[in-house]
Amino acid sequence: MEHRSLLEWRESLRRREISARELVEYYLERIRRLDPKIKAYLTVCEEEARRQAQEADRRLSAGEDLPLLGVPLAIKDNICTRGVRTTCASRILENFVPPYDATVIERLKAAGAILLGKTNLDEFAMGSSTENSAFFPTRNPWDTERVPGGSSGGSAAAVAADLCAGALGSDTGGSIRQPASFCGVVGFKPTYGRVSRYGLVAFASSLDQIGPLTRTVADTALLLQVIGGPDERDTTSWPEPQPDYLAELEKPLSPLRLGIPKEAFGEGLSSEVRRVLEEALREAEKLGHEIREVSLPHLEYALPAYYIIAPAEASSNLARYDGVKYGFRAQGRDLIDMYKKTRSRGFGAEVKRRIMLGTYALSAGYYEAFYRKASQVRTLIIRDFEEAFRQADLILMPASPTPAFRLGEKTDDPLKMYLSDIYTIPVNMAGLPGLSLPVGFTENRLPVNLQIIGPQLADALVLAFGRALEAALALDLKPPLE
């Protein structure tokens, strides 16, 4: 019964082999037993999940056929859920209960999904290890002394430990794909604008994107089918209807040109990660695809440019947390003192670091030198990808330079931590779709993922190739947790 895919559960529910109530109880029992070790969840919606399961069983008995009817999911706690606490893992929003649902939550509910709970993250999605949560760090189900990655570490760990059938995360610079790699699950960042950001608590608006974390590529395709598509409440969403991702997976896949950027397999890449990825590339060749070298000459500048652009946007977006409108408020002598104390006590160290970086980069006299220059570098990165896609159908890179590192190993060195996202950040800068796919293990049996990147709106092709490689590798992705 354990570690079934989302699609397998859906079929069992449709055939009435299991009830939605039984499935919810299965997950609630696992959460009670295993989550004290993992700490993936910030909020578990026990009674509401049971109520939704009862309603799902009624609808299943009546013959209703919805894409996710009765399937229990976990949601990253920076996505607004009406009536359910949404904290962003920050003290400043510790007791915030949104009066509305994010678009993706509306669409999941319309598809019949059940909300199991909200998962832990780095505060305001700023981090690469889920150690920046204001409440507690999440642990990796493959080795509880290691991090699950970040910032969607709670969602990735919940999927890996089978504490939900699937989950949603958000990805600003790798926050779905890097934890997917550390936890040995499938993580997908769609093309920017393919999924509505309405109701996602903003970090860096030109980079943020919601996406699925699941056990299989087909599960990801199903979740993307439900949550994606145009939304008039998000002016950056693509107006064109999306393809049927599940149907696209069933079509025969023609031989592809797979581009390997020479800059992505050099210094800084762990030898064990390199070995696993090279084995996966050989498997791709056996499937009939052509491996060819491409170049992304400005790749090394993506990280510094990102750490100007993202903090600048965060500085603007987080200005709203002032103790006046909602959230935590500290008492002060006057309005200015109240602002200072609220923000000093409400925000953690990493969030304050990024707000200060961003405010500095946007300040008079520095805007041209920093923010404008970073935006120009972003344009060069976009052009590099465009040129590479003239020579290749898809680009393959590491999802992370290393396997999961130990808790506390990088908390004293922010720059070392930032390097965890060196291969994922360029994809956000260019607004491209990127899939993080488990392809093997280190000698210590820690998961390693390959990152599969496509041109804008080539989400279906990225998923189709991922599905073919997944089937060829046929990995056992059950962590030694029990």
Segment 441-453, tens digit of pLDDT: 999 999 999 999 9
144: exposed, middle or buried (Cβ count in 10 Å: 0-12, 13-18, 19+) = middle
What average pLDDT score do residues 181-187 get? 98
Do residues 231 and 361 both lie within one domain?
Answer: no
Do residues 59 and 173 both lie within one domain?
Answer: yes
Do residues 349 and 228 both lie within one domain?
Answer: no
The pLDDT value given to residue 415 = 80
Marked catalytic residue, from 175, 196, 420, 436: 175
The pLDDT value given to residue 418 = 85
In the annotation, is 205 catalytic? no
The pLDDT value given to residue 364 = 81
Residue 320 CA, distance from chain mean position: 24
Do residues 40 and 159 both lie within one domain?
Answer: yes
Segment 85-126, tens digit of pLDDT: 999 999 999 999 999 999 999 999 999 999 999 999 999 999
305 falls within a domain: yes
The pLDDT value given to residue 414 = 82
252 falls within a domain: yes
* Residue in 302, 306, 461 with CA at minimum distance from that of residue 395: 461
192 falls within a domain: yes
Range of the domain at 311: 300-373
The pLDDT value given to residue 326 = 85
* Residue in 327, 268, 249, 256 with CA at minimum distance from that of residue 292: 256
Backbone angles phi, psi at 377, to 5 degrees: -60, -40
Bridge-based pairing state of the strands 257-261 and 394-398: parallel
The pLDDT value given to residue 384 = 98
Segment 376-419, tens digit of pLDDT: 999 999 999 999 999 999 999 999 999 999 999 998 888 888 88
Spatial contact of 439 and 473, defined as CB atoms under 8 Å apart: yes
Whose tokens are 């990801």? That residue is: 220
Within 202-253, strands assigned E span 210-214
384 falls within a domain: no
Segment 38-66, tens digit of pLDDT: 999 999 999 999 999 999 999 999 999 99
Do residues 78 and 137 both lie within one domain?
Answer: yes
Do residues 154 and 201 both lie within one domain?
Answer: yes
- The pLDDT > 90 percentage for the chain reads 93
In the annotation, is 151 catalytic? yes
Do residues 38 and 93 both lie within one domain?
Answer: yes
Do residues 39 and 83 both lie within one domain?
Answer: yes
Number of structural domains the chain divides into: 2
Q: Please determine, for residue 287, whether its predicted confidence score (pLDDT) is greater than 90.
A: yes
Q: Please determine, for residue 421, whether its predicted confidence score (pLDDT) is greater than 80.
A: yes
382 falls within a domain: no
Spatial contact of 442 and 138, defined as CB atoms under 8 Å apart: no
In the annotation, is 175 catalytic? yes
CATH of the domain at 12: 3.90.1300.10
Segment 424-435, tens digit of pLDDT: 999 999 999 999
108 falls within a domain: yes
Marked catalytic residue, from 19, 129, 151, 237: 151
Q: Coil, helix or strand for 274?
A: helix
Spatial contact of 418 and 428, defined as CB atoms under 8 Å apart: no
Spatial contact of 343 and 353, defined as CB atoms under 8 Å apart: no
Strand order of the β-sheet with 434-441 is 41-44, 114-119, 72-76, 167-170, 210-214, 186-189, 434-441, 447-453, 394-398, 257-261, 290-294
Do residues 358 and 407 both lie within one domain?
Answer: no
86 falls within a domain: yes
Whole-number average pLDDT of the chain:
96
What average pLDDT score do residues 181-192 get? 98
pLDDT band per the 50, 70, 90 thresholds, residue 154: very high
Segment 232-280, tens digit of pLDDT: 999 999 999 999 999 999 999 999 999 999 999 988 899 999 999 999 9
| CA angle (56 as vertex; 50, 62 as ends), nearest 5 | 145
The tokens of 50 are what?
Answer: 């049971």
389 falls within a domain: no
- The conformation of residue 201, written as its DSSP 8-state character, comes to P
Please report the DSSP string for 324-350 in residue order: SSSS-----SSHHHHHHHHHHHHS-HH
Marked catalytic residue, from 5, 19, 39, 76: 76
Do residues 439 and 329 both lie within one domain?
Answer: no
Segment 321-380, tens digit of pLDDT: 998 988 899 999 999 999 899 999 999 999 999 999 999 998 888 888 899 999 999 999
Do residues 106 and 219 both lie within one domain?
Answer: yes
Do residues 97 and 200 both lie within one domain?
Answer: yes
